[in-house]
Amino acid sequence: MKKLNQIKIAYIPLFLFFIVFILDKIFLIKKIQLLTQKDATFLYYQYKETLLNQLEKFYQNNKENKKILIIIGSSRLMFVDYKEFKKIYPEWEMYNFSVPVNSPAYYLYIIEKIIQRNIKPDLVLLESDLFQFNEYSPGFKKSNLPYTFDLSFVLRNFNLFERDEVSEFLGYYLFAGKKYPPDLYVLWKRITNPDDKILYIYIKTEEYQKENNGCGLAAVPFREWYIRDLSEIEISSMGTKSWLYKNYKESERQWTFFRKTIHLLNEFQILYIIIKPQVSPIMEEILQNDPIIQNAYKNWQLKINKIIPHKQWIDFTKSETFYCNTFVDGTHMSKECYDPMLYEVMNLYNNLINQKK
The counts of H helices and E strands in the chain are: 17, 5
In a domain, 142, yes or no: yes
Give the DSSP H or E segment for 70: strand 67-72
In a domain, 348, yes or no: no
- Neighbour-count burial of 133, counting CB atoms closer than 10 A to its CB (0-12 exposed, 13-18 middle, 19+ buried): buried
Closest CA to 240 of 77, 100, 98, 38: 100
Domain limits for position 81: 30-217+249-277+290-315
Cα–Cα dist 206/40, whole Å: 10
In a domain, 152, yes or no: yes
In a domain, 259, yes or no: yes
In a domain, 166, yes or no: yes
pTM: 0.92
Number of domains the chain is built from: 1
In a domain, 222, yes or no: no
**CA–CA–CA angle 265, 270, 273 (5° rounding):** 80
Cα–Cα dist 102/143, whole Å: 7
**CA–CA–CA angle 177, 179, 185 (5° rounding):** 60
Cα–Cα dist 124/210, whole Å: 20
- Report the pLDDT value the prediction gives residue 227, as an integer from 0 to 100: 73
- Report the pLDDT value the prediction gives residue 59, as an integer from 0 to 100: 96
Describe the chain by its helix, strand, coil percentages, rounded to 5: 60, 10, 30
Closest CA to 79 of 194, 198, 208, 183: 208
Q: How many CA atoms within 13 Å lie on the side-chain side of 302?
A: 6
In a domain, 236, yes or no: no
- Report the pLDDT value the prediction gives residue 4, as an integer from 0 to 100: 46
CB contact at 8 A, 300 and 308: no
- Report the pLDDT value the prediction gives residue 221, as an integer from 0 to 100: 58
- Report the pLDDT value the prediction gives residue 25, as an integer from 0 to 100: 81
Digit-by-digit pLDDT tens for the chain (357 residues) are 555 455 555 555 655 555 655 676 888 888 888 889 988 889 999 999 999 999 999 999 998 999 999 999 999 999 999 999 999 999 999 999 999 988 999 999 999 999 999 999 999 999 999 999 999 888 888 899 999 999 999 999 999 999 999 999 999 998 888 999 988 898 888 988 878 888 888 889 899 999 999 998 876 655 556 677 788 888 988 988 888 888 899 999 999 999 999 999 999 999 999 999 999 999 999 999 999 999 999 999 999 999 999 999 999 988 888 888 888 898 899 888 999 999 999 999 999 998 876
Output the domain CATH number for residue 263: 3.40.50
In a domain, 12, yes or no: no
